[in-house]
Structure 1
């Protein structure tokens, strides 16, 4: 029996497309988001029910609530978040990939430039989770290799009572007011790229003179972006203020330390990026985690500041990220990809304020 070449090519192409769809989804894409999550959950259980996520952060307790929430939502699953600064996680991952000893199935990190590199090196697995089309296009890979799961922001923070009395700064220039001398606590910009980006935006507007004037305010420099909030909250820095920390967009009524967002100054937002590794020890569980994190349940929760999805309403009193003229997750990506500029800034700050000193925030029992 003679079979035409065109039929063979058509069959091969159809098979390739079917396999590609299977790789990208890992589930029937006609399923609803909840049905897809249930399907991935069953596959993850068959796989063994385990998952390790390398999670970028500077507080060892920062993922406890998420761990409990995931494991309760999916009985029989056991997710473990290993928290460390993203700039250390990526080194560990590179070493593991080189040695064939990969530990995490998922990386969820601030260092977005690593994901571009890992994609180019063929280290990532494409996955198109439910709600993919609703994710902001500038914070996801068009070929499904990585995506932001949430948008994080840093902004001015101070005691709620100080904001209520008008005795706390909101705009960049406010921090140079003499009344804030000895009250400012900041994360070392040469220890955290997100904080470095904040200073880069300030320098581009006001020049290095701003930094020199800020340093003259007798800033307390610390490690970790959560440390300023702890020190303001417990009174270590009396009536302390900062702009190098994130905070809830929906704080509890009795919250002592709250965030305010400037209208004239730039504030930081970035997409915390996640990807599944091609050689992930638990690929089904990894897909389940990403699909769940992008679900309505998590994207609407208080654990997420701004959603990565365009169809999720922002927290009360806030606008969608793209509606603010003074922030841009896309701009942060451009900054992170320009590694020579990042290194230049880091070393210039080292000359100005010294190398980061003090205990790692990961050892702080309050974080």
Structure 2
């Protein structure tokens, strides 16, 4: 089995990402690509793209699920748990502290946060270019990406992502079913299929039973667990989509005020890591530290159960030529989805003038042409941006 040093490496690498991965889910995937694929070579680009495509199909936080999946590839279920702990706990702690002491200032207006958003533009643009080279090497696949990006920009709905991926899978099968394909994958999940079946059974059992248990028990922690588990099981489209669902479940039912909810929303965008850790803030604000723990586990548990249930079958399923040809289309469409998300959420919120664009261009150049590591570029760009804004 794996050694203590092996597991420690998974935890430490994920923790560093959890401390530095600002910019939302698209940026997280870029940071993962830089650290896990390019630097450490824990898996190849094709397998990474397959994992992204798989996690896009699942409900829950896609970037967190990709991180958990990489941890499982590297070290089984424990590796996935450690990868999740490292990536998630820094923002969990930060948001619990926000809830404890209440938000005193609007951090979204600070120069430091603005600088980190500009960094995210550079990192994500670099990742899209690299993924595009691998996943859209010819005109048909470039067309897949362009159509996917255009559809998502024209119809920016969470459901549109699923529609795009479904159409791309079908079109990929039709167009590439006669193409000679490399069915090799380095994805190796050391999980028995029986565990997968049990995990999926537990997922559906909890989803069906928890509302009845919550109503019968009349306990605030069980109620919180039911709410966050249900939202984590049913939400598609990432972190921002979860916000209105949680608001409708928590505010009208008196768990916390609208003002506190909005304060937590602002704080969640000011910390690194997954936006789903907003649940930690909400749990703390509504019922203390135990509430934060219950809410955090509740919203992320469905992702673990679904991944443990599906990944043991993925290697054998992905060997079928029909699946591989469909994935060609899906992977190309993922590039388009990332382009649309890059523009709609990252670029438009981070770049407000020529100074922002110039600094982002410097960051992209350092990553792409000078091949500097992402963590160093983050430091350089933040310092540069703060100096420029101070002098202006």
Taking structure 1 as the reference length, the TM-score comes to: 0.27
| Higher helix residue share | 2
* Structure with the largest fraction of strand: 1
Q: Which structure ranks higher in relative contact order (CA pairs < 8 Å, sequence separation ≥ 6)?
A: 2
If you compute each CA radius of gyration, which structure gives the higher value, 1 or 2? 1
TM score, norm. by length of structure 2:
0.25
